[in-house]
Amino acid sequence: MKIGASLGFSLASLFLIFGLVAFANSTRSNVEIRDVDCVSKRHSRGEPIEFYLYVKAWPGFDEIAIIEVPQNVYNRVYPPAAVRLRLARGIFGIEWLEGVSLPDTPKLP
């Protein structure tokens, strides 16, 4: 019984700490717009259908990142092509993706 209680308390504490760090990181975020190369794309076969782009998201690295995108962006990208990522970076340096569009799109949602 003590092991279960300790495990439960440890997990709850862990989620609380991660939640606090994520909240603190997002309070003062800097937004960066980055045009990156899309090298491939695919969609899922299940329901609901999800749309993915394979992009070189980090300048100077050949590593490929897979990002989920809205269907309207997916339908307009023909690899190899450029896509525009809207990235936010918090006070701890943690990045997250805020939006994806095409470079000719005037504004990101």
Contact 87, 95 (CB under 8 A): yes
| pLDDT of the residue at 61 | 80
> 85 lies in a domain?
yes
Q: Please, what's the b/e burial string for 3-28 (b: 16 or more CB within 10 A of its CB; e: otherwise)? A: eeeeeeeeeeeeeeeeeeeeeebeee
The answer to whether residue 32 scores a pLDDT higher than 70 is yes
| pLDDT of the residue at 26 | 62
* pLDDT band for position 102 (cuts 50, 70, 90): confident
> 36 lies in a domain?
yes
> 106 lies in a domain?
no
> 48 lies in a domain?
yes
> How many domains does the chain divide into?
1
| pLDDT of the residue at 50 | 92
> 59 lies in a domain?
yes
User: pLDDT digit string (tens) for 49-98?
Assistant: 999 999 988 777 888 989 899 999 999 988 888 899 888 887 777 787 88
CATH code where residue 35 lies: 2.40.50
What's the domain range around 52? 29-101
Cβ-based burial of 75 (10 A; exposed 0-12, middle 13-18, buried ≥19): exposed
